[in-house]
């Protein structure tokens, strides 16, 4: 049975993460954690910049010269993902981490790990990964599957869907 | 209610949203119920979120009191189907 639920199963939650910005991923994973806590099943689809941030963070390599060049210009970890406002070349992001620690707010890597532990399923858009120069992810290093749009549509049927 | 199971405590003070609710849900998964749990939290979102969690998951919120910034929620975890 889904985590925490005693009543009939709640609708599943299907998150479509497009943005690789730190604050948007933070919102996505906060919602995912909450949904898991109320017993919803959660599927998270990562496309484009979100897929890039998540795959880079997991150490997936990029192919060829073009892929490597892209890798140089994009965040290599979740912590390096830019904020949509007040980023100031990374200064604002560091300030945010400082404030989060001071306030006892869980940082993004904690939320990601917790969502995985509570059973969230991660999916990565195959086409995005190709366009952004990624090689096939190492299944031992990256949790989740690489998939296409039909997998997303199938998971989205009868589920709550959020595009972030 | 079995008296032995009447005194489960969960201290969520210092935790911020969504952590307290996640901790309650983790405890719920470990307990097969029925059991009473006293959860203490001091996050501003705690009271509202604990109400919502109980409502959505179908666990009974028996009591809710606040004292000097701490909110204490007494939840009765239902028997598992």
**Shortest Cα distance, chain B CAs vs residue A94, angstroms:** 19
Is residue A66 exposed (0-12), middle (13-18) or buried (19+ Cβ within 10 Å)?
A: exposed
Number of domains in chain B: 1
Other residues' Cβ atoms within 10 Å of the Cβ of residue A68: 12
- pLDDT of A12-55, one tens digit each? 999 999 999 999 999 999 999 999 999 999 999 999 999 999 99
Question: Residue B68 is part of which domain span?
Answer: 3-77
* pLDDT (0 to 100) of residue A106: 94
Q: Is A104 on the interface with B (CB under 8 A)?
A: yes
**Residue appearing with tokens 């970890």:** A77
Name residue, tokens 């484009």: A48
φ, ψ of residue B74 to 5 degrees: the values are: -105, 115
b/e per residue, A89-126, with b = 16+ CB within 10 A? Answer: eeeebeebeeebeeeebbebeebbebbbebebbbbbbb
Q: Is the pTM of this model over 0.90?
A: no
Among the listed residues B16, B70, B43, B72, the one whose alpha carbon sits nearest the alpha carbon of residue B61 = B72
Which of B72, B23, B15, B61 is closest to A34 using CA atoms?
B23
Quote the pLDDT of residue B75.
95
Average pLDDT in chain A? 91
- What gap in Å lies between CA A58 and CA A3, rounded to an integer? 26
Subunit contact A5:B57, Cβ cutoff 8 A: yes
- Mean pLDDT confidence for B36-60: 94
pLDDT at site B6: 60
Q: At B30, which CATH number? A: 3.30.110.40
CA distance B53 to B46: 10
Element (H, E) at A56: helix A48-57
Which tops the pLDDT comparison, B10 or A57?
Answer: B10
- Comparing CB atoms, the residue among A4, A39, A104 nearest residue B14 is A104
Residue A114 Cα, gap to closest chain B Cα (Å): 9
- Best mutation target among B14, B56, B79 (most A Cβ atoms within 10 Å) is B56
Tens digit of pLDDT for each residue in B1-20? 444 556 799 999 999 999 99
Which of the residue ranges A66-70, A158-162, B6-10, B28-32 would you say has the lowest mean pLDDT?
B6-10
Q: What is the mean pLDDT of residues A113-133?
A: 95
pLDDT confidence of A137, banded at 50, 70, 90? confident
Band (pLDDT 50/70/90 cuts) for residue A138 is: confident
Range list of β-strands (E), chain B: 8-12, 35-41, 60-67, 70-77
pLDDT for B79 = 67
pLDDT value at residue B17: 94
Give CA angle at A156 (A159, B26), nearest 5°. 50
Q: Give the pLDDT band (50/70/90) at residue A1.
A: very low
A13-17 and A160-163 strand pairing: parallel
Domains of chain A from N-terminus onward: 14-163 (3.40.1260.10)
State ipTM: 0.83
Considering only CB atoms, which chain A residues are within 8 Å of B26?
A: 3, 118
Question: Tokens at residue A4, please?
Answer: 């925490």
Backbone φ, ψ for residue A41 (5° rounding): -80, 145
User: Band of the pLDDT at A8, cuts 50, 70, 90?
Assistant: low
d(CA B67, CA B81): 35
- Alpha helix (H) residue ranges in chain B: 19-30, 46-57
């Amino acid at each position: 049975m889904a985590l925490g639920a005693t009543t009939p199963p709640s609708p599943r939650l299907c998150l479509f993460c497009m943005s690789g910005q730190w604050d948007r991923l933070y919102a996505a994973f906060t919602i995912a954690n909450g949904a898991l806590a109320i017993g919803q099943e959660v599927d998270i689809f990562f496309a484009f910049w979100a897929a890039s941030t998540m795959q880079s963070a997991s150490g997936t390599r990029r192919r060829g010269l073009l892929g490597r060049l892209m890798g140089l210009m994009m965040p290599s970890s979740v912590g390096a993902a830019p904020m949509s406002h007040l980023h100031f070349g990374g200064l604002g992001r560091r300030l945010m981490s400082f404030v989060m620690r001071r306030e006892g707010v869980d940082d993004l890597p904690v939320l990601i790990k917790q969502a995985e532990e509570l059973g969230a399923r991660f999916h990565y858009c195959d086409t995005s990964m190709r366009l952004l120069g990624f090689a096939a992810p190492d299944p031992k290093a990256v949790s989740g599957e690489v998939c296409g749009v039909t997998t997303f549509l199938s998971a989205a049927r009868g589920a709550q869907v959020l595009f972030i | 209610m079995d008296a032995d199971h009447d005194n489960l405590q969960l201290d969520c003070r210092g935790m911020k949203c969504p952590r307290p609710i996640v901790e309650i849900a983790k405890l719920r998964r470990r307990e097969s119920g029925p059991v009473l749990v006293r959860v203490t939290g001091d996050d501003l979102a705690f009271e509202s979120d604990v109400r919502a969690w109980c409502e959505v998951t179908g666990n009974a919120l028996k009591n809710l009191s606040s004292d000097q910034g701490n909110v204490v929620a007494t939840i009765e975890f239902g028997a598992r189907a």
